[in-house]
Amino acid sequence: AKKKKKREDAGSFRWKQAIRSELERAGPAGMKEKKLRKVVVAAAAAAAVTGGSGTVDEAALIARFNSKLAKIEGCRRDDKRVILIDR
């Protein structure tokens, strides 16, 4: 039987949870996408360094952020703002 790696050991980051928590903190007005991206990518970079993966490619993190933001249900992009929609 193979042992499963713990989340901390694998150096993974919970993108959707981080994005959703920042939007909940921002309130009903949401926040600018650029500011949200900076906060979440910085947290992901810190988690990657802490997880032991060493150097971090910021362009790859930004691409992953954009991908994850597009997949989150209950999130709406209005021009430059991102708003969390109540379900």
6-34 residue pLDDT tens = 444 445 899 999 999 999 999 999 999 99
How does 55-84 read in b/e, with b if 16+ C-beta sit within 10 Å? eeeeeebeebbeebbeeeeebeeeeebbbb
Given CA atoms 35, 39, 41, 42 in this order, what sign does their dihedral have?
positive
The pLDDT tens digits of the residues spanning 51-68 come to: 666 677 899 999 999 999
> d(Cα 63, Cα 86) in Å, to the nearest integer?
26
What pLDDT score was predicted for residue 81? 95
Residue, of 6 and 45, whose pLDDT is higher? 45
**pTM for this predicted structure:** 0.79
